[in-house]
Amino acid sequence: LDPHAIAGDSQAIQDFLAEYYRNVDKYPVRAADLEPGRVRKLLPDAAPEHGEPMDHILEDVRREILPGLTHWQSPRFFAFFPANASSAGLAAEMLSVGLNVVPFVWAASPAAAELESVVVDWMARLFGLPRRFLFFGGGGGVLQGSTCEAVVCTLAAARDRALGRLGHEAIARLVVYASDQTHATFQKGARLVGIKPSNFRVIRTSAASGYGLTAEAVRAAVDRDVGLGLVPLYLCATVGTTGLGAVDPVREIGEEARRHGMWVHLDAAYAGSAAICREFQDYLDGAELADSVSMNPHKWFLTNMDCCCLWVARPRDLISALSTDPEYLKNVGADDDVAGKPAAIDYKDWQISMSRRFRAIKLWVILRRYGAAGMRAHIRRHVAAAKWFEQRVAADERFEVVVPRTFSLVCFRLAPRVGRDDDDATNHVNRDLLAAVNASGRAFMTHFVVDGKFVIRLAVGGASTELQHVMEVWDLLQGKAVEVLQHYQT
Ligand code: PLP
């Protein structure tokens, strides 16, 4: 770690990135070269024997790697959900990886652990979460790499809490509840913590409830299971589902779950960011009924990968499921004086892995650099652009909005044509429309299927996406729609 080499190598990368971001709008958004194995063919079979200058390496990045990338930071990237990057996020990530401390126990880097506890409290306050999720209020939070990891941790905590009461043999009777819109990671997580696959309940939603769960549907599923002698364990409520951006009514279903002593997890991976704006905070109403809440700053909160906030109301549930006490960690200076003091948090006991990144400094820098006002402006700019797009779709008789927009995701399609109003025919047309738009390289969107309908998703939220880019994608869609419809008429 020679200081000259640090300055030289990182300067070369900064220059490379500055050029990349100057031109990012010019690349085809989706990887242009989709042939599997292309990169393997271009690169040597073995690592080099001798080190090479950074400039040579970056030249290869430009030539061999960039053409095969999908440009997630293009302002015309509207696929999946956004994965925000920002100048402060990038610089703060450098700070985090540059310091490269490993705060698994408090004493391994006390300021890092404490900064994390401060930042998760700041975030909870910004989103208007109930006091019980703050360290300040008896709960607390942790920064993990992804919602998927956070979900496994909460499922393990819920399982152990229940088995502590019922005995280990009850594991075969524990049931996890989700909706048909819940992220697939809950099913995977349930399997990982030993829930019988047949005890994972997928509750159907419908257009009538905006594809959100209802208390009645939860009650019916739970009552049926209780009647069979099963034990309701865990319910996931999502604010902003992956496919459609649907919202589960947290209070209603939380009350239902509470009647059975279930663990309630509130997954706000994408839409949680919007709760920094007062007008979106009501979607988290009822959060005090949850045992845990998670959201991903790495989606729509100007935070470069990776960063997931997980808050729990009772840290001891999480810690008793995840703590370890190996001998080799007993020599890092955590003497009896610090152990057990509330501020001396051993974050290894709040997550799956032992080693961990210093994510707190990244989020702290971002929050200070942009401030809450800057974050609100970022969210509102995208919501306004999505609203503009939704209005255009609704006003054009060739198109239809399939599910009303709540945040910055618009789900739409070319409407069924007169005389050809079956979903199969309509789905073909929409599949072709999406393929034509993506093949143009001028935008990238992805689809979802709901009630047999192929739906095109415009997920607005890229850090540099402006209304102008959304207007251009609307023009592009209209042009491609004419071509596709003509093709079907001939
Ligand atoms: N939950 C929801 C609602 C999501 O939209 C996503 C990702 O899109 C996830 C969970 C998974 O998040 P991660 O990739 O951080 O594990």
pLDDT at 336: 53
Q: How far apart are CA 319 and CA 222, in angstroms?
A: 28
pLDDT tens-place string over residues 331-347: 665 555 555 566 789 99
* Residues of the chain predicted below pLDDT 70: 33, 331-342, 418-421
DSSP run (H or E) holding 294: strand 292-295
The two most distant CA atoms of the chain are separated, in Å, by 81
3-state secondary structure of 72: coil
Tokens for 435, please give them. Answer: 């393929």
Q: Which atom of ligand 1 is nearest to the CA of 270?
A: 5
CA of 72 relative to ligand 1 center, distance in Å? 16
Which CA distances in Å does 190 have to 148, 156, 175, 219?
11, 9, 9, 20
CB-based pocket (< 6 A), ligand 1: 81, 146-148, 183, 185, 238, 240-242, 267, 269-270, 296, 308
Q: Which atom of ligand 1 is nearest to the CA of 242?
A: 5
pLDDT at 298: 98
Question: What ranges in 228-358 are assigned the alpha helix state H?
Answer: 250-259, 278-281, 297-300, 315-322
Q: Which atom of ligand 1 is nearest to the CA of 148?
A: 16
pLDDT tens-place string over residues 234-280: 999 999 999 999 999 999 999 999 999 999 999 999 999 999 999 99
Pocket test for ligand 1, best of 151, 183, 309, 409 (most atoms within 8 A of CB): 183
pTM of the model: 0.96
Give the number of other Cβ atoms within 10 Å of residue 328's Cβ.
6
Vertex 194: Cα angle to 188 and 196 (nearest 5)? 85
Give the number of other Cβ atoms within 10 Å of residue 116's Cβ.
26
CA of 148 relative to ligand 1 center, distance in Å? 7
pLDDT at 417: 81
CA of 147 relative to ligand 1 center, distance in Å? 6
Q: Which residues neighbour 482 within 8 Å (Cβ) at sequence distance 6 or greater?
A: none
CA of 206 relative to ligand 1 center, distance in Å? 21
Which protein residue's CA is at the shortest distance from atom 12 of ligand 1? 147
Give the number of other Cβ atoms within 10 Å of residue 323's Cβ.
12
Pocket test for ligand 1, best of 81, 205, 296 (most atoms within 8 A of CB): 296
Give the number of other Cβ atoms within 10 Å of residue 5's Cβ.
10
Which residue's structure tokens are 């490379």?
Answer: 16
Q: Which atom of ligand 1 is nearest to the CA of 145?
A: 15
Question: What ranges in 24-146 are assigned the alpha helix state H?
Answer: 38-42, 54-60, 87-99, 110-126
Which CA distances in Å does 42 have to 61, 64, 89, 156?
12, 7, 32, 44
Pocket test for ligand 1, best of 147, 180, 446 (most atoms within 8 A of CB): 147
